[in-house]
Amino acid sequence: MLALLSDAERQHSVSLADLIRTRIAAAGGWLPFDAFMELALYAPGLGYYSAGAVKLGVGGDFVTAPETSRLFGQCLARQCAEVLAITGGGILEFGAGTGSMAVTVLEELASLNALPDRYAILEVSADLAARQRARVQELPETLRQRCVWLTRLPDEPMRGVVLANEVLDALPCARFVVHEKRVRALGVAMGADGGFIEREAFADELLVRYAQPLVREFALADGYRTEVCWRIEPWIAGMRDCLQQGAILLIDYGLPRAQYYHPQRTDGTLRCHFKHRAHNDPLILVGVQDISSWVDFTRVAEAGEAAGFNLCGFTTQAGFLIGSGIEELLAADADDITRARRTGEAARLLLPAEMGEAFKVMALGRGLQSPLRGFTLQDLAPSL
């Protein structure tokens, strides 16, 4: 059972729902799902990621790995240090949430004497950027002065590391259903009561181009419903001119394509989060719940190759954290109480039933010759 809305949340959701109804009417009574998802998440001032409500942590809707434990950011920093030793330069983080990961990464890099020239945070939400600045203010001045905030990609190519933790899953995705080996688009219309309902429509050229090959390749059965995200390619392509030398580290829940479109995964991977409850109805609680879909990491690897990057590693989050030295960090804890607490945090990050298997880590590189340490324990690249 989902938590009740506060009066402010209810009014916020009503305002966004009114905007979406206007857009549906203007479009002739139906919006493709990706257009609906973009409004629900990013409509200026009203979308889930554009408005001011707390989203991460105990008081929000879900907890990310950096919020779970500093161990995550410390391991990530060790991987960054390896890359920065080769490339020099800086770090660019997409969508830094509360700023917790940035703070931990900078503190750990300082302890390793491997600080970047600067730590840039690309954040389109003014509210989140303000929260990140407040969090960064807790750092010593020598670390604070390295932090800058951006609202678009840097004008000049950079060397170093690009970090994207739970970014690709929030790219608006298209939904489709299979009928007699052909795809039909799934989208959103208005019901008789004014609520949102799912409705099928003819697939346009773009959906046919991306989805029909999947139907053929995996012999998807009638009634099979799933997602395809064609915004991954332009997102990765945008890195082509941004990263002169270094690595893009992508952390997200996702699968290789053959597992993503497995015959038994008949209703896709779409997930919604509200007050730490997960469900699969994106048409309710608009503007106050998160909507995401799992990442097709085969598509990410293909997009990286097309953009001139080489695959430097693909593994589970557990494999990456162990390869990056999480066991060493635990062993170095000064006292039994700290070690016990952090061991419990590590279990959430590593165990298959928690985050360890569902989340994957992929590195796309340019100008890197040596294998990256986080991917030496486990190599899942052949599964792509």
Q: What tens digit of pLDDT does each residue of 321-346 get?
A: 999 999 999 988 778 788 889 889 98
Contact between 247 and 189 (Cβ < 8 Å): no
Q: pLDDT grade, residue 371 (50/70/90)?
A: confident
Same domain, residue pair 244 and 327:
yes
Q: Buried (b) or exposed (e) across 174-193, using 16+ Cβ within 10 A?
A: bbbbbeeeebbbbbbbbeee
pLDDT digits (tens, 9 = 90+) for 244-268: 999 999 999 999 999 999 999 999 9
Q: What is the pTM of this model?
A: 0.94
Same domain, residue pair 161 and 206:
no
pLDDT of residue 62: 58
Same domain, residue pair 37 and 186:
yes
Assess if residue 53 is contained within a domain: no
pLDDT of residue 76: 98
pLDDT digits (tens, 9 = 90+) for 40-91: 999 998 999 887 555 554 445 557 888 889 999 999 999 999 999 999 999 9
Contact between 143 and 135 (Cβ < 8 Å): no
Would you list the DSSP string of 102-170?
HHHHHHHHHHTT---S-EEEE---HHHHHHHHHHHTTS-HHHHTTEEEESS--SS-EEEEEEEES-GGG
Count of domains forming the chain: 2
Same domain, residue pair 206 and 127:
no
Q: pLDDT grade, residue 124 (50/70/90)?
A: confident
For residue 75, what is the domain's CATH number? 3.40.50.12710
Same domain, residue pair 223 and 328:
no
Q: What is the largest CA-CA distance in the chain?
A: 64
Question: Which of 113-117, 271-275, 286-290 is predicted most confidently?
Answer: 113-117
Please list the residues that pair with 185 across neighbouring strands: 176, 201
Whether 10 has a pLDDT exceeding 60, the answer reads yes
pLDDT of residue 50: 81
For strands 359-366 and 310-316, give the pairing. Answer: antiparallel
Whether 288 has a pLDDT exceeding 50, the answer reads yes
Please list the residues that pair with 196 across neighbouring strands: 190
Assess if residue 77 is contained within a domain: yes
Assess if residue 94 is contained within a domain: yes
**Average pLDDT of every residue of the chain:** 93
Same domain, residue pair 132 and 248:
yes
Same domain, residue pair 142 and 196:
no
Contact between 331 and 325 (Cβ < 8 Å): no
Q: Quick one: what percent of the chain has pLDDT higher than 90?
A: 79
Read off the pLDDT of each residue in 101-110 and give the average, rounded to a whole number: 98
Assess if residue 273 is contained within a domain: no
Structural domain for 352, as ranges: 65-171+232-259+291-383
pLDDT of residue 125: 81
Same domain, residue pair 158 and 241:
yes
Distances (CA, A) of 371 to 135, 327, 349, 367: 33, 20, 23, 12
